[in-house]
A and B are shown apart, each in its own frame.
Chain A
Amino acid sequence: MTSAQETAVAGEKNAPNQSMPNADYTATAHKARVQDKVATGILAAIVGVIIVALVAIIVYILASGASKLVDVHFLTAKPEQFKAGGGIGPELFNSFYLLVLTLLISVPISLGAAIFLTQYAPQGRITNIAKTAIETLSSLPSIVVGLFGMLTFVLTLHWGFSILSGALALTMFNIPILVRVIQQALEAVPRDQRDAALALGLTRWEATMHVLVPAAMPAIVTGVVLSAGRVFGEAAALIYTAGQSAPVLSWSAPIWSLSNPLNVFRPAETLAVHIWKINSEGVVPDLSAVSAGTAAVLMVCILAFDIIARVAGRALERKLTAE
Protein backbone atom coordinates (compact mmCIF):
# COMPACT_ATOMS: atom_id res chain seq x y z
CA MET A 1 0.00 0.00 0.00
CA THR A 2 1.41 3.37 -0.98
CA SER A 3 1.52 6.22 1.46
CA ALA A 4 -1.08 8.12 -0.55
CA GLN A 5 -3.52 5.24 -0.21
CA GLU A 6 -2.78 5.00 3.48
CA THR A 7 -3.57 8.63 3.95
CA ALA A 8 -6.79 8.24 1.99
CA VAL A 9 -7.93 5.30 4.11
CA ALA A 10 -6.95 7.06 7.31
CA GLY A 11 -8.88 10.10 6.14
CA GLU A 12 -12.01 8.02 5.57
CA LYS A 13 -11.72 6.40 8.97
CA ASN A 14 -11.20 9.69 10.74
CA ALA A 15 -13.81 11.66 8.87
CA PRO A 16 -16.88 10.76 10.98
CA ASN A 17 -15.02 11.51 14.22
CA GLN A 18 -14.00 15.02 13.25
CA SER A 19 -16.38 17.74 14.24
CA MET A 20 -16.07 20.03 11.23
CA PRO A 21 -16.51 17.95 8.05
CA ASN A 22 -20.15 16.98 7.99
CA ALA A 23 -22.27 15.78 5.06
CA ASP A 24 -22.78 19.32 3.73
CA TYR A 25 -19.09 20.02 3.69
CA THR A 26 -18.34 16.78 1.83
CA ALA A 27 -21.02 17.58 -0.74
CA THR A 28 -19.63 21.07 -1.34
CA ALA A 29 -16.10 19.75 -1.65
CA HIS A 30 -17.30 17.12 -4.08
CA LYS A 31 -19.11 19.75 -6.15
CA ALA A 32 -16.04 21.97 -6.27
CA ARG A 33 -13.92 19.04 -7.42
CA VAL A 34 -16.36 18.15 -10.19
CA GLN A 35 -16.46 21.80 -11.24
CA ASP A 36 -12.69 21.87 -11.40
CA LYS A 37 -12.60 18.74 -13.56
CA VAL A 38 -15.28 20.03 -15.93
CA ALA A 39 -13.55 23.39 -16.30
CA THR A 40 -10.21 21.73 -16.98
CA GLY A 41 -11.88 19.52 -19.57
CA ILE A 42 -13.55 22.42 -21.35
CA LEU A 43 -10.38 24.51 -21.43
CA ALA A 44 -8.37 21.57 -22.74
CA ALA A 45 -10.98 21.00 -25.44
CA ILE A 46 -10.85 24.66 -26.53
CA VAL A 47 -7.06 24.58 -26.76
CA GLY A 48 -7.29 21.26 -28.59
CA VAL A 49 -9.62 22.71 -31.23
CA ILE A 50 -7.34 25.74 -31.73
CA ILE A 51 -4.23 23.60 -32.07
CA VAL A 52 -5.90 21.18 -34.48
CA ALA A 53 -7.18 24.05 -36.64
CA LEU A 54 -3.80 25.81 -36.75
CA VAL A 55 -1.84 22.68 -37.43
CA ALA A 56 -4.34 21.67 -40.13
CA ILE A 57 -3.92 25.04 -41.88
CA ILE A 58 -0.14 24.86 -41.72
CA VAL A 59 -0.04 21.25 -42.90
CA TYR A 60 -2.51 21.99 -45.69
CA ILE A 61 -0.50 24.95 -46.97
CA LEU A 62 2.79 23.10 -46.74
CA ALA A 63 1.36 19.95 -48.37
CA SER A 64 -0.25 21.91 -51.22
CA GLY A 65 3.02 23.63 -52.01
CA ALA A 66 5.40 20.82 -51.04
CA SER A 67 6.46 19.98 -54.58
CA LYS A 68 7.26 23.63 -55.34
CA LEU A 69 8.99 24.12 -52.00
CA VAL A 70 11.88 21.89 -53.01
CA ASP A 71 11.88 22.98 -56.66
CA VAL A 72 15.01 25.07 -57.18
CA HIS A 73 13.76 26.32 -60.53
CA PHE A 74 10.56 27.64 -58.89
CA LEU A 75 12.53 29.35 -56.14
CA THR A 76 14.93 31.11 -58.49
CA ALA A 77 13.25 31.62 -61.88
CA LYS A 78 11.32 34.72 -62.89
CA PRO A 79 7.52 34.55 -62.97
CA GLU A 80 5.73 33.89 -66.28
CA GLN A 81 2.89 36.06 -67.55
CA PHE A 82 1.02 33.63 -69.78
CA LYS A 83 2.57 30.17 -69.71
CA ALA A 84 3.18 27.59 -67.02
CA GLY A 85 6.50 27.01 -65.24
CA GLY A 86 7.08 30.48 -63.81
CA GLY A 87 9.07 30.97 -60.61
CA ILE A 88 9.18 33.41 -57.72
CA GLY A 89 12.89 34.29 -57.65
CA PRO A 90 12.49 38.10 -57.79
CA GLU A 91 9.58 38.01 -55.34
CA LEU A 92 11.61 36.03 -52.84
CA PHE A 93 14.49 38.49 -53.13
CA ASN A 94 12.14 41.49 -52.96
CA SER A 95 10.49 40.19 -49.80
CA PHE A 96 13.80 39.86 -47.98
CA TYR A 97 15.18 43.12 -49.33
CA LEU A 98 12.08 45.03 -48.24
CA LEU A 99 12.20 43.34 -44.85
CA VAL A 100 15.84 44.27 -44.28
CA LEU A 101 15.25 47.88 -45.34
CA THR A 102 12.15 48.13 -43.19
CA LEU A 103 13.96 46.81 -40.14
CA LEU A 104 16.94 49.08 -40.78
CA ILE A 105 14.61 52.08 -40.71
CA SER A 106 12.10 51.00 -38.08
CA VAL A 107 14.29 49.38 -35.40
CA PRO A 108 16.45 52.45 -34.61
CA ILE A 109 13.43 54.77 -34.65
CA SER A 110 11.39 52.45 -32.43
CA LEU A 111 14.29 51.90 -30.05
CA GLY A 112 14.77 55.65 -29.73
CA ALA A 113 11.08 56.27 -29.19
CA ALA A 114 10.78 53.50 -26.61
CA ILE A 115 13.85 54.71 -24.73
CA PHE A 116 12.53 58.27 -24.70
CA LEU A 117 9.09 57.18 -23.52
CA THR A 118 10.36 54.91 -20.75
CA GLN A 119 13.39 56.86 -19.53
CA TYR A 120 13.13 60.52 -20.43
CA ALA A 121 9.56 61.64 -21.06
CA PRO A 122 7.88 63.03 -17.96
CA GLN A 123 5.24 60.51 -16.96
CA GLY A 124 1.81 61.96 -17.63
CA ARG A 125 0.58 63.97 -20.57
CA ILE A 126 3.32 63.37 -23.12
CA THR A 127 3.50 59.64 -22.50
CA ASN A 128 -0.29 59.35 -22.56
CA ILE A 129 -0.54 61.17 -25.88
CA ALA A 130 2.24 59.03 -27.33
CA LYS A 131 0.63 55.87 -25.99
CA THR A 132 -2.73 56.74 -27.56
CA ALA A 133 -1.08 57.61 -30.85
CA ILE A 134 0.86 54.36 -30.90
CA GLU A 135 -2.20 52.29 -30.07
CA THR A 136 -4.24 54.01 -32.77
CA LEU A 137 -1.50 53.54 -35.33
CA SER A 138 -1.09 49.86 -34.45
CA SER A 139 -4.77 49.15 -35.01
CA LEU A 140 -4.87 51.02 -38.32
CA PRO A 141 -5.89 48.61 -41.12
CA SER A 142 -2.84 47.95 -43.27
CA ILE A 143 -4.69 48.88 -46.46
CA VAL A 144 -5.08 52.39 -44.97
CA VAL A 145 -1.35 52.50 -44.32
CA GLY A 146 -0.86 51.39 -47.94
CA LEU A 147 -3.13 54.09 -49.35
CA PHE A 148 -1.50 56.73 -47.16
CA GLY A 149 1.87 55.52 -48.45
CA MET A 150 0.65 55.81 -52.02
CA LEU A 151 -0.55 59.39 -51.53
CA THR A 152 2.55 60.48 -49.66
CA PHE A 153 5.50 58.58 -51.05
CA VAL A 154 4.32 57.40 -54.46
CA LEU A 155 2.40 60.49 -55.63
CA THR A 156 3.39 63.53 -53.54
CA LEU A 157 7.09 62.70 -53.30
CA HIS A 158 7.10 61.21 -56.85
CA TRP A 159 8.96 58.07 -55.79
CA GLY A 160 6.54 55.96 -57.80
CA PHE A 161 5.82 52.33 -56.98
CA SER A 162 9.15 51.59 -55.41
CA ILE A 163 10.96 49.63 -52.75
CA LEU A 164 11.56 52.87 -50.83
CA SER A 165 7.84 53.72 -50.79
CA GLY A 166 7.07 50.16 -49.72
CA ALA A 167 9.71 50.10 -47.01
CA LEU A 168 8.45 53.38 -45.54
CA ALA A 169 4.84 52.16 -45.58
CA LEU A 170 5.96 48.97 -43.83
CA THR A 171 7.93 51.10 -41.36
CA MET A 172 4.77 52.98 -40.44
CA PHE A 173 3.05 49.66 -40.04
CA ASN A 174 5.88 48.20 -37.99
CA ILE A 175 6.86 51.08 -35.69
CA PRO A 176 3.84 51.00 -33.34
CA ILE A 177 4.31 47.30 -32.67
CA LEU A 178 8.05 47.60 -32.20
CA VAL A 179 7.77 50.61 -29.89
CA ARG A 180 5.33 48.68 -27.74
CA VAL A 181 7.46 45.54 -27.63
CA ILE A 182 10.66 47.45 -26.82
CA GLN A 183 8.89 49.62 -24.26
CA GLN A 184 7.60 46.51 -22.49
CA ALA A 185 11.04 44.91 -22.65
CA LEU A 186 12.66 47.99 -21.09
CA GLU A 187 9.98 48.29 -18.42
CA ALA A 188 10.46 44.64 -17.51
CA VAL A 189 14.07 45.30 -16.50
CA PRO A 190 14.04 45.64 -12.70
CA ARG A 191 14.23 49.26 -11.56
CA ASP A 192 17.17 48.50 -9.33
CA GLN A 193 19.36 47.88 -12.38
CA ARG A 194 18.91 51.49 -13.40
CA ASP A 195 19.32 52.70 -9.81
CA ALA A 196 22.56 50.76 -9.51
CA ALA A 197 23.95 52.41 -12.63
CA LEU A 198 22.87 55.89 -11.55
CA ALA A 199 24.29 55.36 -8.05
CA LEU A 200 27.68 54.63 -9.65
CA GLY A 201 27.66 58.11 -11.16
CA LEU A 202 26.67 57.07 -14.66
CA THR A 203 24.47 59.29 -16.79
CA ARG A 204 20.96 58.29 -17.70
CA TRP A 205 22.17 57.69 -21.24
CA GLU A 206 24.96 55.37 -20.07
CA ALA A 207 22.55 53.57 -17.75
CA THR A 208 20.16 53.07 -20.64
CA MET A 209 22.64 52.02 -23.29
CA HIS A 210 24.97 49.89 -21.18
CA VAL A 211 22.63 48.44 -18.58
CA LEU A 212 18.97 48.62 -19.55
CA VAL A 213 19.15 47.87 -23.27
CA PRO A 214 21.53 44.89 -22.85
CA ALA A 215 19.33 43.52 -20.07
CA ALA A 216 16.25 43.92 -22.26
CA MET A 217 18.00 42.57 -25.36
CA PRO A 218 16.53 39.03 -25.33
CA ALA A 219 12.99 40.40 -25.29
CA ILE A 220 13.86 43.06 -27.87
CA VAL A 221 15.37 40.52 -30.27
CA THR A 222 12.37 38.24 -29.89
CA GLY A 223 10.03 41.15 -30.54
CA VAL A 224 11.93 42.38 -33.58
CA VAL A 225 12.08 38.96 -35.21
CA LEU A 226 8.40 38.30 -34.56
CA SER A 227 7.51 41.68 -36.06
CA ALA A 228 9.70 40.70 -39.02
CA GLY A 229 7.36 37.78 -39.63
CA ARG A 230 4.40 40.15 -39.76
CA VAL A 231 6.19 42.54 -42.12
CA PHE A 232 7.31 39.65 -44.32
CA GLY A 233 3.75 38.44 -44.84
CA GLU A 234 2.19 41.88 -45.33
CA ALA A 235 0.42 42.45 -48.64
CA ALA A 236 -2.16 45.23 -48.34
CA ALA A 237 0.30 47.94 -47.32
CA LEU A 238 2.51 47.07 -50.32
CA ILE A 239 0.07 46.71 -53.20
CA TYR A 240 -0.08 50.48 -53.78
CA THR A 241 3.41 51.36 -52.56
CA ALA A 242 5.97 48.78 -53.66
CA GLY A 243 3.76 47.88 -56.61
CA GLN A 244 2.64 44.68 -58.24
CA SER A 245 5.32 44.16 -60.83
CA ALA A 246 8.67 42.47 -60.51
CA PRO A 247 11.18 43.65 -63.11
CA VAL A 248 13.67 41.03 -64.25
CA LEU A 249 16.66 41.42 -61.98
CA SER A 250 20.27 41.39 -63.02
CA TRP A 251 23.23 41.98 -60.74
CA SER A 252 25.26 43.34 -63.62
CA ALA A 253 22.82 46.18 -64.27
CA PRO A 254 23.94 49.65 -63.13
CA ILE A 255 22.50 50.84 -59.81
CA TRP A 256 20.14 53.36 -61.47
CA SER A 257 18.66 50.69 -63.72
CA LEU A 258 15.29 49.22 -62.79
CA SER A 259 16.91 45.79 -63.18
CA ASN A 260 19.46 46.32 -60.45
CA PRO A 261 18.19 44.35 -57.45
CA LEU A 262 19.42 46.98 -54.94
CA ASN A 263 17.88 50.00 -56.68
CA VAL A 264 15.36 51.27 -54.14
CA PHE A 265 13.42 53.21 -56.78
CA ARG A 266 12.31 50.14 -58.72
CA PRO A 267 8.91 48.52 -58.22
CA ALA A 268 9.07 45.30 -56.25
CA GLU A 269 6.37 42.71 -55.89
CA THR A 270 6.75 40.57 -52.78
CA LEU A 271 5.64 37.00 -52.09
CA ALA A 272 2.45 38.03 -50.31
CA VAL A 273 1.54 40.54 -53.03
CA HIS A 274 2.30 37.87 -55.64
CA ILE A 275 -0.20 35.50 -54.07
CA TRP A 276 -2.82 38.23 -54.05
CA LYS A 277 -2.09 39.25 -57.64
CA ILE A 278 -2.07 35.90 -59.37
CA ASN A 279 -5.24 34.91 -57.59
CA SER A 280 -7.07 38.10 -58.53
CA GLU A 281 -5.86 38.70 -62.05
CA GLY A 282 -3.43 35.91 -62.99
CA VAL A 283 -3.87 34.08 -66.30
CA VAL A 284 -1.08 31.51 -66.08
CA PRO A 285 -2.37 27.93 -66.50
CA ASP A 286 -0.56 26.67 -63.37
CA LEU A 287 -2.03 29.46 -61.28
CA SER A 288 -3.11 27.37 -58.30
CA ALA A 289 0.19 25.50 -58.11
CA VAL A 290 2.18 28.75 -58.20
CA SER A 291 -0.09 30.27 -55.59
CA ALA A 292 0.16 27.25 -53.30
CA GLY A 293 3.93 27.07 -53.77
CA THR A 294 4.35 30.77 -52.95
CA ALA A 295 2.16 30.41 -49.87
CA ALA A 296 4.25 27.45 -48.69
CA VAL A 297 7.49 29.39 -49.16
CA LEU A 298 6.05 32.33 -47.24
CA MET A 299 4.90 30.04 -44.47
CA VAL A 300 8.27 28.35 -44.15
CA CYS A 301 10.03 31.72 -43.94
CA ILE A 302 7.69 32.94 -41.20
CA LEU A 303 8.01 29.69 -39.26
CA ALA A 304 11.76 30.12 -39.52
CA PHE A 305 11.49 33.66 -38.12
CA ASP A 306 9.45 32.34 -35.25
CA ILE A 307 11.97 29.64 -34.41
CA ILE A 308 14.88 32.06 -34.77
CA ALA A 309 13.13 34.50 -32.43
CA ARG A 310 12.78 31.88 -29.73
CA VAL A 311 16.23 30.39 -30.09
CA ALA A 312 18.01 33.74 -30.27
CA GLY A 313 16.01 35.16 -27.36
CA ARG A 314 16.73 32.17 -25.19
CA ALA A 315 20.40 32.02 -26.13
CA LEU A 316 20.87 35.69 -25.28
CA GLU A 317 19.00 35.29 -22.01
CA ARG A 318 21.21 32.37 -21.06
CA LYS A 319 24.35 34.31 -21.92
CA LEU A 320 23.25 37.24 -19.75
CA THR A 321 22.05 35.37 -16.71
CA ALA A 322 24.24 32.26 -16.88
CA GLU A 323 21.32 29.98 -16.09
Chain B
Amino acid sequence: MTDTTKLTSSTVQNPVLHTHDVTVDYSGKRALNETSLSFESGTVTALIGPSGCGKSTFLRCINLMNREIPGCVVGGKIVYHDINVNTKGIDTLWLRKRVGMVFQQPNPFRKSIYENVAFALKSHGMTKKEELDERVEKSLRAAALWDEVKDKLRDSAYALSGGQQQRLCIARTLALQPDVVLMDEPCSALDPIATFAIEETISSIARNGICVVIVTHNMEQATRVSNKTAFFYLGHMVEFGDTAQIFGAPKDQRLNDYLNGRFG
Protein backbone atom coordinates (compact mmCIF):
# COMPACT_ATOMS: atom_id res chain seq x y z
CA MET B 1 0.00 0.00 0.00
CA THR B 2 2.71 2.43 1.01
CA ASP B 3 4.62 1.42 -2.11
CA THR B 4 1.70 2.27 -4.34
CA THR B 5 1.39 5.70 -2.79
CA LYS B 6 5.06 6.47 -3.22
CA LEU B 7 5.05 5.24 -6.77
CA THR B 8 2.13 7.40 -7.84
CA SER B 9 3.37 10.43 -5.93
CA SER B 10 6.64 10.36 -7.81
CA THR B 11 4.89 10.33 -11.16
CA VAL B 12 2.91 13.49 -10.37
CA GLN B 13 4.07 16.44 -12.44
CA ASN B 14 2.99 19.71 -10.79
CA PRO B 15 1.11 19.14 -7.58
CA VAL B 16 -0.73 22.25 -6.44
CA LEU B 17 -1.56 20.38 -3.30
CA HIS B 18 -0.20 17.36 -1.56
CA THR B 19 -0.74 15.74 1.77
CA HIS B 20 1.88 13.92 3.75
CA ASP B 21 0.83 11.38 6.40
CA VAL B 22 -2.39 13.20 7.21
CA THR B 23 -4.27 11.66 10.12
CA VAL B 24 -7.58 12.61 11.74
CA ASP B 25 -8.72 11.83 15.27
CA TYR B 26 -12.14 12.63 16.68
CA SER B 27 -11.83 12.93 20.47
CA GLY B 28 -8.94 10.49 20.51
CA LYS B 29 -10.56 8.01 18.14
CA ARG B 30 -8.73 7.57 14.85
CA ALA B 31 -10.91 8.27 11.83
CA LEU B 32 -8.23 8.46 9.17
CA ASN B 33 -4.79 6.83 9.09
CA GLU B 34 -1.71 8.27 7.42
CA THR B 35 -2.78 9.46 3.99
CA SER B 36 -0.39 10.90 1.43
CA LEU B 37 -1.85 12.08 -1.87
CA SER B 38 -0.96 14.59 -4.58
CA PHE B 39 -3.32 16.71 -6.61
CA GLU B 40 -2.46 18.45 -9.86
CA SER B 41 -3.87 21.54 -11.52
CA GLY B 42 -6.42 20.88 -14.21
CA THR B 43 -7.23 17.38 -13.07
CA VAL B 44 -10.19 15.87 -11.29
CA THR B 45 -9.41 13.43 -8.50
CA ALA B 46 -12.21 11.23 -7.19
CA LEU B 47 -12.21 9.90 -3.64
CA ILE B 48 -14.28 6.72 -3.45
CA GLY B 49 -15.07 4.11 -0.84
CA PRO B 50 -17.93 2.84 1.33
CA SER B 51 -19.68 5.08 3.90
CA GLY B 52 -17.54 5.95 6.89
CA CYS B 53 -14.28 5.12 5.12
CA GLY B 54 -12.77 8.54 5.80
CA LYS B 55 -13.01 10.10 2.33
CA SER B 56 -15.13 13.07 3.40
CA THR B 57 -13.07 13.44 6.55
CA PHE B 58 -9.95 13.66 4.40
CA LEU B 59 -11.58 16.20 2.07
CA ARG B 60 -12.50 18.43 4.99
CA CYS B 61 -8.87 18.44 6.16
CA ILE B 62 -7.67 20.14 3.02
CA ASN B 63 -9.38 23.49 3.66
CA LEU B 64 -9.10 23.01 7.42
CA MET B 65 -12.88 22.74 7.83
CA ASN B 66 -12.25 20.00 10.39
CA ARG B 67 -10.98 22.71 12.69
CA GLU B 68 -14.61 23.80 13.13
CA ILE B 69 -15.44 20.46 14.74
CA PRO B 70 -14.68 20.39 18.48
CA GLY B 71 -12.38 17.53 19.47
CA CYS B 72 -11.09 16.94 15.94
CA VAL B 73 -7.30 16.75 15.59
CA VAL B 74 -5.58 16.68 12.21
CA GLY B 75 -1.98 15.44 12.04
CA GLY B 76 0.59 15.36 9.25
CA LYS B 77 1.37 17.90 6.57
CA ILE B 78 -1.03 19.48 4.09
CA VAL B 79 1.12 21.31 1.59
CA TYR B 80 -0.55 23.88 -0.62
CA HIS B 81 1.85 25.65 -3.02
CA ASP B 82 4.84 24.62 -0.90
CA ILE B 83 3.23 25.93 2.29
CA ASN B 84 2.28 23.51 5.04
CA VAL B 85 -1.15 24.80 6.01
CA ASN B 86 -1.74 22.35 8.84
CA THR B 87 -0.04 24.67 11.32
CA LYS B 88 -1.42 26.83 14.09
CA GLY B 89 -0.50 30.17 12.58
CA ILE B 90 -2.04 29.62 9.16
CA ASP B 91 -4.59 32.16 7.97
CA THR B 92 -7.63 29.97 7.37
CA LEU B 93 -9.47 32.86 5.69
CA TRP B 94 -6.73 33.11 3.06
CA LEU B 95 -6.62 29.33 2.56
CA ARG B 96 -10.38 28.94 2.21
CA LYS B 97 -10.53 31.74 -0.29
CA ARG B 98 -7.96 29.85 -2.41
CA VAL B 99 -9.37 26.36 -1.73
CA GLY B 100 -13.13 26.40 -2.30
CA MET B 101 -15.67 23.85 -1.15
CA VAL B 102 -19.02 22.61 -2.46
CA PHE B 103 -21.21 20.64 -0.07
CA GLN B 104 -23.41 17.58 -0.32
CA GLN B 105 -26.72 19.40 0.07
CA PRO B 106 -27.12 22.54 -2.04
CA ASN B 107 -26.79 25.24 0.61
CA PRO B 108 -27.20 28.67 -0.95
CA PHE B 109 -27.50 31.55 1.48
CA ARG B 110 -30.97 32.90 2.12
CA LYS B 111 -30.18 35.84 -0.10
CA SER B 112 -30.73 36.78 -3.72
CA ILE B 113 -28.98 34.86 -6.48
CA TYR B 114 -26.70 37.86 -7.08
CA GLU B 115 -25.88 38.27 -3.40
CA ASN B 116 -25.05 34.59 -3.05
CA VAL B 117 -22.18 35.07 -5.46
CA ALA B 118 -21.24 38.65 -4.58
CA PHE B 119 -21.45 38.38 -0.81
CA ALA B 120 -18.10 36.68 -0.16
CA LEU B 121 -16.42 38.89 -2.78
CA LYS B 122 -17.58 41.97 -0.92
CA SER B 123 -16.32 40.69 2.37
CA HIS B 124 -12.96 39.93 0.74
CA GLY B 125 -12.74 43.57 -0.28
CA MET B 126 -14.28 43.90 -3.74
CA THR B 127 -16.48 46.96 -3.57
CA LYS B 128 -16.86 48.40 -7.08
CA LYS B 129 -20.22 47.55 -8.56
CA GLU B 130 -18.93 47.04 -12.13
CA GLU B 131 -16.24 44.68 -10.89
CA LEU B 132 -18.77 42.74 -8.83
CA ASP B 133 -21.26 42.56 -11.70
CA GLU B 134 -18.57 41.29 -14.02
CA ARG B 135 -17.30 38.66 -11.59
CA VAL B 136 -20.83 37.48 -10.78
CA GLU B 137 -21.61 37.02 -14.46
CA LYS B 138 -18.30 35.26 -15.11
CA SER B 139 -18.80 32.90 -12.18
CA LEU B 140 -22.38 32.10 -13.12
CA ARG B 141 -21.27 31.41 -16.69
CA ALA B 142 -18.49 29.13 -15.46
CA ALA B 143 -21.08 27.19 -13.49
CA ALA B 144 -23.35 27.05 -16.58
CA LEU B 145 -26.09 28.90 -14.76
CA TRP B 146 -25.97 32.37 -16.28
CA ASP B 147 -28.52 31.85 -19.07
CA GLU B 148 -31.05 30.42 -16.65
CA VAL B 149 -30.82 33.17 -14.04
CA LYS B 150 -29.66 36.32 -15.80
CA ASP B 151 -33.16 37.83 -15.75
CA LYS B 152 -33.85 37.09 -12.10
CA LEU B 153 -30.61 37.85 -10.28
CA ARG B 154 -32.53 39.66 -7.55
CA ASP B 155 -34.80 36.69 -6.81
CA SER B 156 -34.17 34.52 -3.80
CA ALA B 157 -31.78 31.64 -4.42
CA TYR B 158 -34.46 29.36 -3.01
CA ALA B 159 -36.61 30.01 -6.07
CA LEU B 160 -34.16 27.81 -8.01
CA SER B 161 -34.35 24.04 -8.45
CA GLY B 162 -32.00 21.78 -6.46
CA GLY B 163 -29.61 21.35 -9.39
CA GLN B 164 -29.57 25.08 -10.09
CA GLN B 165 -28.95 25.76 -6.41
CA GLN B 166 -25.96 23.44 -6.48
CA ARG B 167 -24.57 25.17 -9.57
CA LEU B 168 -25.10 28.48 -7.75
CA CYS B 169 -23.01 27.09 -4.89
CA ILE B 170 -20.31 26.18 -7.41
CA ALA B 171 -20.50 29.70 -8.89
CA ARG B 172 -20.23 31.17 -5.42
CA THR B 173 -17.05 29.17 -4.87
CA LEU B 174 -15.59 30.00 -8.29
CA ALA B 175 -16.20 33.71 -7.73
CA LEU B 176 -13.27 33.80 -5.33
CA GLN B 177 -11.05 32.38 -8.13
CA PRO B 178 -9.71 29.42 -6.16
CA ASP B 179 -7.19 27.05 -7.70
CA VAL B 180 -8.51 24.06 -5.80
CA VAL B 181 -12.21 23.16 -5.50
CA LEU B 182 -13.27 20.46 -3.06
CA MET B 183 -16.61 18.78 -3.66
CA ASP B 184 -18.29 16.57 -1.09
CA GLU B 185 -20.73 14.32 -2.97
CA PRO B 186 -22.13 17.32 -4.84
CA CYS B 187 -24.71 15.30 -6.77
CA SER B 188 -26.04 12.95 -4.12
CA ALA B 189 -29.15 15.08 -3.59
CA LEU B 190 -29.83 15.61 -7.29
CA ASP B 191 -31.70 13.84 -10.07
CA PRO B 192 -29.82 12.35 -13.08
CA ILE B 193 -30.34 15.37 -15.35
CA ALA B 194 -29.10 17.83 -12.74
CA THR B 195 -26.23 15.44 -12.00
CA PHE B 196 -25.25 15.45 -15.66
CA ALA B 197 -25.20 19.27 -15.69
CA ILE B 198 -22.98 19.36 -12.60
CA GLU B 199 -20.59 16.80 -14.12
CA GLU B 200 -20.30 18.94 -17.25
CA THR B 201 -19.51 21.88 -15.01
CA ILE B 202 -16.86 19.92 -13.12
CA SER B 203 -15.12 18.95 -16.37
CA SER B 204 -15.13 22.51 -17.64
CA ILE B 205 -13.77 23.85 -14.34
CA ALA B 206 -10.88 21.39 -14.60
CA ARG B 207 -10.25 22.38 -18.23
CA ASN B 208 -9.75 25.92 -16.94
CA GLY B 209 -6.84 24.70 -14.85
CA ILE B 210 -8.48 24.26 -11.49
CA CYS B 211 -7.65 21.23 -9.37
CA VAL B 212 -10.89 19.47 -8.43
CA VAL B 213 -11.15 16.90 -5.66
CA ILE B 214 -14.52 15.18 -5.53
CA VAL B 215 -15.88 12.71 -3.02
CA THR B 216 -18.45 10.46 -4.63
CA HIS B 217 -20.49 7.41 -3.84
CA ASN B 218 -21.31 6.94 -7.46
CA MET B 219 -18.62 4.92 -9.22
CA GLU B 220 -19.94 5.67 -12.70
CA GLN B 221 -19.58 9.32 -11.80
CA ALA B 222 -15.97 8.75 -10.77
CA THR B 223 -15.20 7.10 -14.11
CA ARG B 224 -17.01 9.84 -16.03
CA VAL B 225 -15.44 12.91 -14.43
CA SER B 226 -12.11 11.99 -12.86
CA ASN B 227 -8.56 11.53 -14.09
CA LYS B 228 -7.29 10.07 -10.83
CA THR B 229 -9.04 8.03 -8.18
CA ALA B 230 -8.19 7.23 -4.59
CA PHE B 231 -9.93 4.38 -2.80
CA PHE B 232 -10.52 4.66 0.95
CA TYR B 233 -11.51 1.80 3.22
CA LEU B 234 -12.01 1.76 7.00
CA GLY B 235 -9.96 4.89 7.59
CA HIS B 236 -7.11 3.88 5.24
CA MET B 237 -6.22 5.25 1.86
CA VAL B 238 -5.85 1.91 0.11
CA GLU B 239 -5.03 2.62 -3.50
CA PHE B 240 -4.42 5.69 -5.62
CA GLY B 241 -3.89 5.81 -9.36
CA ASP B 242 -5.24 6.77 -12.76
CA THR B 243 -8.99 6.31 -12.85
CA ALA B 244 -8.70 3.85 -15.75
CA GLN B 245 -6.25 1.70 -13.79
CA ILE B 246 -8.25 1.85 -10.55
CA PHE B 247 -11.42 0.67 -12.24
CA GLY B 248 -9.82 -1.48 -14.96
CA ALA B 249 -6.98 -3.19 -13.12
CA PRO B 250 -7.31 -2.74 -9.37
CA LYS B 251 -4.26 -4.04 -7.47
CA ASP B 252 -5.68 -4.27 -3.96
CA GLN B 253 -8.04 -7.12 -3.16
CA ARG B 254 -10.32 -4.85 -1.07
CA LEU B 255 -10.71 -2.43 -3.97
CA ASN B 256 -11.43 -5.35 -6.27
CA ASP B 257 -14.11 -6.62 -3.88
CA TYR B 258 -15.60 -3.15 -3.53
CA LEU B 259 -15.79 -2.65 -7.29
CA ASN B 260 -17.46 -6.03 -7.67
CA GLY B 261 -20.10 -5.10 -5.15
CA ARG B 262 -18.98 -7.55 -2.47
CA PHE B 263 -19.44 -4.84 0.19
CA GLY B 264 -20.33 -1.18 0.55
Contacts and interface: CB of A to CB of B under 8 A. Distances in A.
Interface of A: 122-123, 190, 192-193, 195-203, 206, 210-211, 214-215, 319-323
A196 B108 CA distance: 8
A214 B110 contact: yes
Interface stretch (B8-16, B33-41, B87-95, B191-199): B87-95
Given A122-B70, A210-B119, A200 B65 contact: no
B105 A192 contact: yes
B119 A201 contact: no
A214 B70 contact: no
Nearest to B105: A192
A196 B96 contact: no
B191 to A, nearest CB: 20
A200 B172 contact: yes
Given A200-B173, A211-B109, A320-B110, 17 more contacts: A122-B70, A123-B70, A192-B105, A195-B65, A195-B107, A198-B68, A199-B65, A200-B96, A200-B120, A200-B176, A201-B94, A201-B120, A202-B120, A211-B110, A322-B155, A322-B158, A322-B159
B96 A201 contact: yes
A203 B91 CA distance: 11
Contacts of B101: 199
B124 interface: yes
B156 interface: yes
Most central of A190, A196, A199, A319 by chain B CB within 10 Å? A199
A200 B101 CA distance: 8
B68 A321 contact: no
B99 to A, nearest CB: 9
B103 interface: yes
Given A210-B123, A214-B111, A215-B110, A199 B158 contact: no
Contacts of B97: 200-201
A198 B96 contact: yes
Contact of A198 (B65, B124, B157, B173): B65
Nearest to B92: A201
Given A200-B172, A201-B93, A322 B156 contact: yes
A206 B123 contact: yes
B229 interface: no
A323 B101 CA distance: 27
B32 interface: no
Given A195-B68, A198-B68, A201-B97, A321 B103 contact: no
Nearest to A320: B110
Contact of B107 (A192, A210, A322): A192
Given A195-B103, A196-B107, A320-B110, A202 B156 contact: no
Nearest to B102: A199
A36 B159 CA distance: 40
A197 B124 contact: no
Contacts of B123: 202, 206, 210
Contacts of B70: 122-123
Contacts of A190: 105, 107
A316 to B, nearest CB: 10
B169 interface: yes
B100 interface: yes
Contact of B169 (A196, A214, A320, A322): A196
Residue among B65, B110, B155 having the largest count of chain A Cβ atoms under 10 Å? B110
Contacts of B93: 201-203
B243 interface: no
Contacts of B156: 319-322
12 contacts: A123-B70, A196-B107, A196-B172, A197-B120, A199-B63, A200-B173, A200-B176, A201-B92, A201-B94, A211-B109, A322-B158, A322-B159
Contacts of A123: 70
Nearest to B158: A321
A222 to B, nearest CB: 16
A322 B172 CA distance: 19
B83 to A, nearest CB: 16
A198 B100 CA distance: 10
Among A122, A198, A201, max chain B CB count under 10 A is at A201
Given A321-B156, A321-B158, A323-B158, A199 B100 contact: yes
Interface in B171-196: 172-173, 176
